[in-house]
Amino acid sequence: MQPDPGSRNGVRAGDVVHVGRSASVQFDGSSALLFRVIRVHDRPTYDGWTWLDGYQLNRNGNAVKRRTIFVQIDGLRPVARRTSAPKRVSVPNTRPYPASSQLPRQRN
C-alpha cells in the first residue's frame, strides 16, 4: 500500500484490506480475512510491520469480530478506502405532540 496524507504507514482508519499470507503467515489459506481498520498503532515495532485494530468482515462486509493484528504493511491488499467522513443526515422534527411552549397555560 502506498502512503497518503492522513495515513500512518500507508494504512488509515476506514480502509478495508485483504489480510493474507503476504501480510503474515498466520493468515495463510483459509485463515485469510477481510479487515476494516479502525486504528493504526503508533508504537515502535519492526521495520515494515505494524499493529492494527479493526473488525474482521464476513462475505457481506459486516463486522463479525473485533481484532488486533500484527502485519507487514506491504502484504496488505487494499479492497476499499474511505474517501471522506460519513455524512450526517438531518432528521426533521416529527413530534407527535406540540412543544411545551405551544401548550395552553394551565390555570391554578
Please tell me the predicted confidence (pLDDT) of residue 108: 65
Please tell me the predicted confidence (pLDDT) of residue 3: 45
Give CA–CA dist 73/57, Å, rounded.
19
Domain boundaries, the chain: 16-80
> Percent helix, strand, coil in the chain (nearest 5)?
10, 35, 55
Instruction: Specify whether the CB–CB gap between 69 and 52 falls below 8 A.
Output: yes
- CA atoms 13, 14, 20, 26: torsion sign: positive
Instruction: Specify whether the CB–CB gap between 15 and 77 falls below 8 A.
Output: no
Residues 67-79 pLDDT 10s: 999 999 999 999 9
- CA atoms 47, 51, 56, 61: torsion sign: negative
Residue with cell 480475512: 33
The one-letter amino acid code at 42 reads D
Does pTM surpass 0.85? no
Is pLDDT above 80 for 4? no
Query: β-strands 49-57, 16-19: how paired?
Result: unpaired
Residues 48-100 pLDDT 10s: 999 999 999 998 999 999 999 999 999 999 997 665 555 555 656 665 665 65
